[in-house]
Structure formats: structure tokens, C-alpha cells
Amino acid sequence: MVPNPAIINAVEQLDYRVTVGDVATKAGLNVATVEQGLLAIATEAGGHMQVADTGDLVYLFRKICAVSCVAAP
């Protein structure tokens, strides 16, 4: 799956620690699209998931790898 550039840009702008809601709002995309995109990026780039105190799923990405590991041909 080719990552959605809007999702990658939102992850970068939100400092690589994001929730689906944060990215959906920032990128102007629907939640289902963002959820699928973040999972794909996390799988490809070695991102991690945590559960916040609020119960939200938080995706954490390494700054160096978030774009370069996924966007590389």
C-alpha cells in the first residue's frame, strides 16, 4: 500500500506522536482512511502503538524513519 501523503504530512506536523482523530482532523480525511493508513505506515516504518490514559490508540513513529522508510521505492 502506498502511503497517503496527507497522512505522512500530518504525522510530521504533529511531531510523530498521533491519534487517528488528530491525523483525520489535520489531514481532512475520514477516520477509516486514516486508521488504515496509519496502520500501514506503522507496519512499514516500524511504528509503535500505545494506549493513552483516555483509551485512545496512539501511534508513535521515529522521526528519521516515518517518511523515508515508507516513501522509498
The pLDDT tens digits of the residues spanning 46-73 come to 899 999 999 999 999 987 555 555 555 5
pLDDT at 72: 52
pLDDT of residue 65: 57
What is the pTM assigned to this prediction? 0.82
CATH number belonging to domain 5-71? 1.10.10.10
The pLDDT value recorded for residue 18 is 97
Q: How far apart are CA 50 and CA 33, in angstroms?
A: 20
Handedness of CA 20, 23, 26, 29 (dihedral sign): negative
8: phi then psi, degrees, rounded to nearest 5: -60, -45
